[in-house]
Amino acid sequence: MPRHHFVIVATVLLAVCSRLPAQSTRSGGGQASRSDQTSSRKSDAELIIEQARASLGGSTTLDSVTTLEILGTEEREYAGALPKGATGYDSPAEPFGFKMRWPDRFQFTRHWFIHTLEGRAFWQKQTGGPTVPQTPDLQATARRSTELNAATCTLAFLLKTPPSLGLRPRYLGVVKIEGLEGPTVEFVGPTTYAPKLIFDPVGHTPMAAITTARRFDASGIERVVQVVKRLEDYRKVDGLRFPFRLDERAPGRHTITRIKSIRVNPPLGLRDFANPSR
C-alpha cells in the first residue's frame, strides 16, 4: 500500500493591535495612574495559562525544564475502505522524536528526516526514502513547519513558546472546536501562524492545540484547513504531567502520536543540535 507524506505549512497571519489610554489621571497621595494599574494586572490569557500550568505541576517546575527529550511513534490512518467500525493504520509505525534545549535549540526526528532549529540557523538532513531536492522554497517551507512544530510542542508539554518566535497570548473566550469546548488562548506575533490552545474549563488542563495547514484537495485546489491535535493520556514524569497520546485530525488526515518516553533535563549540549555536515 502506498504511503502518503504531508508537509504542514501554517498560513494564517494575524496582527495584534493595542491601544493605550490617551490620558492618565493621577490623584494626590502618590496613587498610581489608571494606566499604571491596568498594566500591572494580568490579562485573561495570562490568568488562564497560569491556572493551566498549575494543573501540570506549577510554573516553577515547568520553568526549571531546560532540556527535554521525547520519543514515540506516529501512525497514519489507513486511507482505503475498511469494514464498518474498524480502524486501520499504516504499518510499521514511524518513529517520532523531539529534543529541546531552551531557549533556542529544537530538533524533530521523523522517518526520513531530521529538522533542527540551531539558534537562528535551520538545517535539515534526509536519512532515507526518495531524494528530496533542497530548493530554497522547500527549505523555507521546512523551516516554517519546524518553527510551528516547535511552538506546538513547547505549548503542549511546557505551556510556553520559543522567545525567538515573538508569540504573545490573546484570550478568545470560550470556544467550541471539534466537540471540545473551553477557554481558548491564541498565540499571535510576527510569524505566519497563530497556534491556539483550548483548555478544560474545570481542571484547566490543555485539551487540544489548534493550527492551520495548506492542503491540496482532490481537484488540485490549495485550501487552508484546520488541524486539531488533541492532548490525551496525561501521566506524571518527574513531578510534571505530560500528554502521552496526541490525536491529530484534519481533512484527509488522521495521525496518532504515541509517546514512549519523556526525559526531563537530560544532558543535551550544543553539539546535540549541531549540523553534522559542517
pLDDT digits (tens, 9 = 90+) for 150-161: 999 999 999 999
How much of the chain is in helix, strand and coil states, percent to nearest 5? 20, 40, 40
Mean pLDDT of 247-253: 87
**Residue 29 domain flag:** no
* Average pLDDT of the residues of the chain: 82
13 vs 73 pLDDT, higher one: 73
**Residue 32 domain flag:** no
Domain count within the chain: 1
Name residue 231's beta-bridge partners.
246
The three-state secondary structure class of 23 is coil
Asked if 196 contacts 170 with a C-beta cutoff of 8 angstroms, the reply is: no
pLDDT band at 79 (very low <50, low <70, confident <90, very high): low
**Residue 61 domain flag:** yes
Q: What is the pLDDT of residue 2?
A: 42
Residue 132 has pLDDT above 60, yes or no: yes
**Residue 17 domain flag:** no
Q: What is the pLDDT of residue 19?
A: 28
| Cα separation values, 101 from 25, 105, 201, 222, 271, Å | 45, 5, 31, 35, 11
Q: What is the pLDDT of residue 218?
A: 59
Mean pLDDT of 157-179: 95
Q: What is the pLDDT of residue 277?
A: 80
pTM for the model stands at 0.79
The Cα 145–Cα 187 span in angstroms is 16
77 vs 38 pLDDT, higher one: 77
Amino acid letter, residue 200: D
Q: What is the pLDDT of residue 191?
A: 78
**Residue 159 domain flag:** yes
Residue 87 has pLDDT above 90, yes or no: no
Note down the domain range covering 205.
41-273
pLDDT band at 33 (very low <50, low <70, confident <90, very high): very low
User: For residue 223, what is the domain's CATH number?
Assistant: 2.50.20.10
Ranges 213-217, 227-231, 259-263: which has the least confidence: 213-217
pLDDT band at 162 (very low <50, low <70, confident <90, very high): very high
pLDDT band at 225 (very low <50, low <70, confident <90, very high): confident
pLDDT band at 108 (very low <50, low <70, confident <90, very high): very high
pLDDT band at 141 (very low <50, low <70, confident <90, very high): confident
**Residue 210 domain flag:** yes
Residue 164 has pLDDT above 80, yes or no: yes
Mean pLDDT of 74-88: 59
141 vs 278 pLDDT, higher one: 141
If you write DSSP's letter for every residue of 159-206 in order, what string do you get?
A: S---GGG--EEEEEEEEEETTEEEEEEEEESSSS---EEEE-TTT--E
Q: What is the pLDDT of residue 240?
A: 98
**Residue 174 domain flag:** yes
Q: What is the pLDDT of residue 8?
A: 33
**Residue 13 domain flag:** no
